[in-house]
Structure 1
Amino acid sequence: MEVQLKIIGISLIILALIHSIFPTYFNWKHDLKPLLLVNRQMMIVHTFFIALTVLLMGVLCLMNSNDLLETSLGKKICFGFGIFWTFRLVFQFFVYSPKLWKGKRFETIIHIIFSMIWFYLSVFFILCAIN
């Protein structure tokens, strides 16, 4: 499990860094322009803090995998991570509209891949917490 946590840590760090391309990839300069300034800035700030949270999760998994698995506090942190990723999985199906991916090959593949990742992270962290 410790090796898996380190791999997850590296993966979460990469996922956090990928957030840096969101503004360009999703054309936020153009698409967010009609929004009020506060809404535009909230989108950018919240994306930054999600990326920071995911980065810190990754660093914690990479640098403190043994502590996460062996200590009471580590198990509680894993449980919290499990809740975080379970909510992310639920949002994948019940908040994001299927219109975003249905009938679109690339988007459907991405939807399936990330659904499997969110499921894996949810189950893995909960198992770490109760193990």
Structure 2
Amino acid sequence: MSNTLIIIGGIFHLGFAVFHLFFWRLFNWKKDLASLTYINRAVMQILNLCLTFVFFVAAYISIFHSRELVATSLGNVILVSISAFWFLRLIEQIIFFGLKKRLSITLTILFFAGFVIYLFPLLFIV
């Protein structure tokens, strides 16, 4: 069960990686980021690309190394870290976007799912 859940988490991360690759188009970044300073525009795009890379790495580790994530102490640390990432993202969503719009609520639920997907396997480690 834990391995299956972690593999689902890998697919979850693939979805977020692809979603982030479309930020330029979805959010019209060519136009909208033009109003930022050169440095802020660059930082915004670099952070997005690095986060996308992290999502791809999390997907790879989850899909191809789910057993090690459950069976080793380093794997457990990675599970805790990924779960904490999604918990922090959930909190940031509420702080910065609130819970008044349907999209924000949907994203908050997705971030909660990421938190639980990676926390749940840790509850059954003896």
| TM value normalised by structure 2 | 0.88
Deviation at 1:83, TM superposition (A): 1.1
Cα offset, 1:125, TM superposition: 1.8
Q: What does residue 16 of structure 2 align with?
A: 15
Larger relative contact order (C-alpha < 8 A, sep ≥ 6)? 2
Question: Offset at 1:128?
Answer: 2.5
RMSD: 1.6
Q: How many residues align?
A: 123
Structure 1: how far apart are the matches of 2:15 and 2:63? 12
Partners of 1:97 and 1:115 in 2: CA distance: 10
> What displacement does 1:10 show?
1.4
- 1-side partners of 2:116 and 2:97: how far apart? 24
Aligned to 1:81: 82
- Could you tell me which residue of structure 2 aligns to residue 26 of structure 1? 27
Change (3 A) 1:14 1:120: closer
Amino acid at match of 1:63: F
Whether contact under 8 Å (2:9, 2:118) holds in the other structure is: no
Segments of structure 2 that go 5 or more residues without pairing to the other structure are none
Sequence identity, in percent?
Answer: 26
Is the partner of 2:22 in helix, strand or coil? helix
Deviations 1:71-128 (A, max 9, x none): 111111101111111101110101x233xx73xxxx51x3222211211221332233
Deviates more, 1:9-18 or 1:110-119: 110-119
Query: TM-score normalized by structure 1?
Result: 0.85
Give the counterpart letter for 2:106 in structure 1. Answer: I
Q: Which runs of 5+ in 1 are unaligned?
A: none
Name 2:118's counterpart in structure 1: 125
**Is the 1:68–1:77 contact (alpha carbons within 8 Å) kept by the matching residues of 2?**
yes
CA distance in 1, matches of 2:120, 2:9: 14
- Residue identity in the other structure for 2:119: I
Structure-2 separation of matches of 1:28 and 1:66? 39
| Cα offset, 1:130, TM superposition | 4.3
Task: Give the corresponding residue for 2:104.
Answer: 111
On the 8 A contact 1:79/1:128 being kept in 2, the answer is no
Is contact 1:75–1:128 with CA below 8 Å preserved after alignment?
Answer: no
